[in-house]
Amino acid sequence: MNDPSGGAPFQAESLKEGNRYVKSLYQCAADGTPSKGMLEDLQRPARPLTSDEEVRARLYERYLHAGGRVLRELLPKLLPRSDRSVFTHGDIAPWNVMVDDQNKITDILGWKFCRLVP
């Protein structure tokens, strides 16, 4: 990737590196499911999430439901705490991130799973 002329091999390698970088940003839930479903309630009707404690409890519940046992005691201590709500995309993946020729992110697509999380 050291070809300053910008030839096709250089551009192809740049795209490969950009793709590797974006893939490294992928996040999933504690139970290994895609992030778009990490806060999906296991109960019906779905319970609202109105506090940080409720979000943490939901993540822990999903982890145990999916057979998670290794972190059973440690996970509640590992989950971050927050007293603020944050806006999250919910589906960051390579196909939702547009980059330019210099591998700079130019656009984020796929906002149907976005939400405000306590």
Burial of 101 (0-12, 13-18, 19+ CB in 10 A): exposed
The residue behind tokens 């822990």 is: 60
Q: Which residue has the higher pLDDT, 45 or 10?
A: 45
Q: Which residue has the higher pLDDT, 79 or 37?
A: 79
Type of residue found at 89 = H
Looking at residues 64-68, what average pLDDT do you find?
Answer: 81
Please tell me the pTM assigned to this model: 0.44
pLDDT surpasses 70 at 2? no
3-class state of residue 28 by DSSP? strand
Looking at residues 74-94, what average pLDDT do you find?
Answer: 81
